Amino acid sequence: MLKSLGVDMGPSVDDQSNPQGSNEDVDFAKLHKDIFDMTGDGKEYWAPPSREAILELAPKLDPIIPALIAEKGKGKAFWGWKHTRTLLTYELFLPHLVNPHFVLVFRNFLGTALSAVEHTRRRRNPVDFSQALRLVHFYHGEMLRFVEDHPEIPTHFVSYEDVVLKPLDEAQKLARFLGIAVTDETAREITA
């Protein structure tokens, strides 16, 4: 939806498990994988490192993060990225962002947990349903932590289910939040 509104979201990861694409920026995906790897063996989205372990990496990442942000934003009025692990790493990025706006997507706990079980069922260590529910609770808690810790940052809340059921309404809300116009062409693309 952000891409349709004209926000450059970067090149998407080729995610074979998601036929419609994950729309996760390939460069931020790689950086997040590197960050999680630097915190210790076996750390990933499904078994995340502690917030403290991530924040301890700030000195090592200080030259890398500003360079990536500068490259991504060069010559662009609007740009952004989508990557779930940002919920754990945003403190590393905030000092380097100019006028950030955050879009936080909430999805039904049950739907997200079932999706996690399905997404990992072919992995060496699949996530079971109870673990998936704990992860959903954990990541939603991280979104709430962000809101509490940074009330000064413009934040827009989105319901995944509302985006699916009422895409044009949600696109108009998102466009107002970002100060972007929804054109007829954009509306057709969003509702197609």
**152 with 50: CB under 8 angstroms?**
no
Give the per-residue pLDDT at 184.
92
* pLDDT attached to residue 23: 82
pLDDT at 192: 83
Query: For residue 19, what pLDDT is reported?
Result: 59
CA neighbor of 158 nearest in space, from 100, 87, 104: 104
Give the C-alpha separation, 43 to 8, whole Å: 29
- Residue 108: predicted pLDDT: 94
Q: What is the pLDDT of residue 54?
A: 95
Under 8 Å between Cβ of 21 and 12: yes
The pLDDT score that the predictor gives to residue 11 is 86
pLDDT value at position 140? 94
Q: What are phi and psi of 14, to 5 degrees?
A: -80, 95
pLDDT at 40: 84
> DSSP 3-state assignment of 154?
coil
* CB-based contact 27:93 (threshold 8 Å): no
Structure tokens of 185?
């062409």
C-alpha span between 2 and 78 (Å, rounded) = 10
Give Cβ neighbours of residue 55 (< 8 Å, ≥ 6 apart). 91, 92
Predicted TM-score (pTM) of the model is 0.89
27 CB-contact burial (10 Å; exposed 0-12 / middle 13-18 / buried 19+): middle
Burial class (CB within 10 angstroms; exposed 0-12, middle 13-18, buried 19+) of 101: middle
pLDDT in tens, the chain (192 residues): 999 999 999 988 876 666 566 788 999 999 999 999 999 877 788 889 999 999 999 999 999 999 999 999 999 988 999 998 999 999 999 999 999 999 999 999 999 999 999 989 988 889 999 999 999 999 999 999 999 999 999 999 999 999 999 999 999 999 999 999 999 999 999 988
The pLDDT assigned to 47 comes to 87
Query: How many C-beta neighbours within 10 Å does residue 168 have?
Result: 14
